[in-house]
Amino acid sequence: MKGDRVMKFAVLVFPGSNCDIDCYKAVESTIGQPVDYVWQTSTDLSAYDAILVPGGFSYGDYLRCGAIAQFAPVMGALKQAAEDGKYILGICNGFQILTEARLLPGALLRNKALKFRCHSAKLRVVNNETPFTRDYAENELIDIPIAHGEGNYYCDEATLKELQANRQIVFRYEAGNNPNGSVDDIAGICNRAGNVVGMMPHPERAVHELLGSADGKRMFTSILNAWRERSGAAVIGG
């Protein structure tokens, strides 16, 4: 990589996070960039180029998923990082935390069938022009697992129109196979600026054929390539 600066990743850890290790391993195995666990009491994320908010049951999902995590000390630094244009990816409970913290619009409700669901899911890459999806083809169908009880994305009519108009819908469940009843089959969205993405499916669980799919790998290469391009470095193959 011709002496390029490495991209530094942080994986936030709250009490009850349980996909933190998976996110850490995925960064290491897919793009080999340095990654640190950052405990929720930290108030400085300035050393990092990308921040992953992992899945799990932060604070036991007490009160409401993500509702307590939004008050953790690290959230101030996370909001600053979002404003600074750093890449932030919230997966599953991480997505719930990002909506509770208003870094993303809408909310995640209980699955329509009222049951936790864990299985492979087919996702449509709706917008492949975000820093998180540039290595996918537009409308590509990818296989990424889900594992959630509260993944039913909801927002009001006006917000949905905005999401659609601004191309903020990043992933949709394949038509007819929406596992949780989300509005407009939404599986993942980004903020207006495109540097914050939240999604219910777990790309970090689909990074190797042994896990049943390697389709999640390109999310990580996308982030690295977007960052390299922004900092004027050479991109890697998808």
Partner 1 sequence: MAQQLSAAKEPNAEQIAEQKLYKQMGVTDDEYARICGFLGRKPNYVEIGVFSVMWSEHCSYKNSKPVLRRFPTTGPRVLMGPGEGAGVVDIGDNQAVVFKIESHNHPSAIEPYQGAATGVGGIIRDIFSMGARPVALLNSLRFGRLENDRVRYLFEHVVSGIAGYGNCIGIPTVAGEVMFDESYEGNPLVNAMCVGLIDHDKIQKGVAKGVGNPVFYVGPATGRDGIHGATFASEELTAESEAKRPAVQVGDPFMEKLVMEACLELIDSGIVLGIQDMGAAGLTCSSAEMASKAGNGIELYLDRVPQREEGMTPYEMMLSESQERMLYVIRPEHEAQARAIFDRWGVICAKVGKVTDDGRLKLFHHGELVGDMPVGALVDECPVYNPASQEPAYYRENAAIDTLRYPEAANLTETLRRILASPTVASKEWVYNQYDSMVRTETFVRPGSDAAVVGVPGTRKALAMTTDCNGRYVYLDPAVGGRIAVSEAARNIVCSGALPLAVTDNLNFGSPEKPDIFWQLEQATEGMAEACRALETPVIGGNVSLYNENAKGAIYPTPVVGMVGLVEDVDHITTQGFKAEGDIVLLLGDTKAELGGSELQYVLHGVTEGRPPELDLAVERALQQAVLEAIRGGLVASAHDLSEGGLAVALAESCISGGGIGASVALETELRPDVALFSESQSRILLSARPDKADALQELLAARGVPCRAIGTVGGSELRITVNGKEGVRSDVAQLEKAWKEAIPCYMK
Q: Report, as residue numbers or ranges, the catalytic residues.
A: 92, 202, 204
Q: Which amino acid is at 1?
A: M
From 6, 32, 85, 118, residue interacting with partner 1 (rule: CB under 8 A): 118
Sheet holding 196-199, edge to edge: 35-39, 9-13, 50-53, 87-91, 196-199, 186-190, 169-173, 117-125, 141-148
Segment near partner 1 (CB under 8 A); pick from 10-18, 76-84, 126-134, 191-199? 10-18
Structure-block tokens of residue 74: 């690290």
Work out whether 150 is an interface residue with partner 1 (CB under 8 A): no
From 8, 79, 110, 117, residue interacting with partner 1 (rule: CB under 8 A): 117
- Please state the closest distance from residue 105 (CB atom) to partner 1, in A: 27
Work out whether 59 is an interface residue with partner 1 (CB under 8 A): yes
Contact partners, residue 133, CB within 8 Å, separation at least 6: 125, 127, 170, 218, 219, 222
From 107, 147, 214, 233, residue interacting with partner 1 (rule: CB under 8 A): 147
DSSP state of 6: P
SS3 labels along 196-212? EEEECCCHHHCCEHHHC
Work out whether 212 is an interface residue with partner 1 (CB under 8 A): yes
Q: Is 153 helix (H, G, I), strand (E, B) or coil?
A: strand
59 vs 227, beta carbon nearer partner 1: 59
Judged by the rule CB under 8 A, the positions of this chain that interact with partner 1 are 15-16, 18-19, 21-22, 25-26, 55-57, 59-62, 115-119, 145, 147, 149, 202, 204-205, 207, 210-212
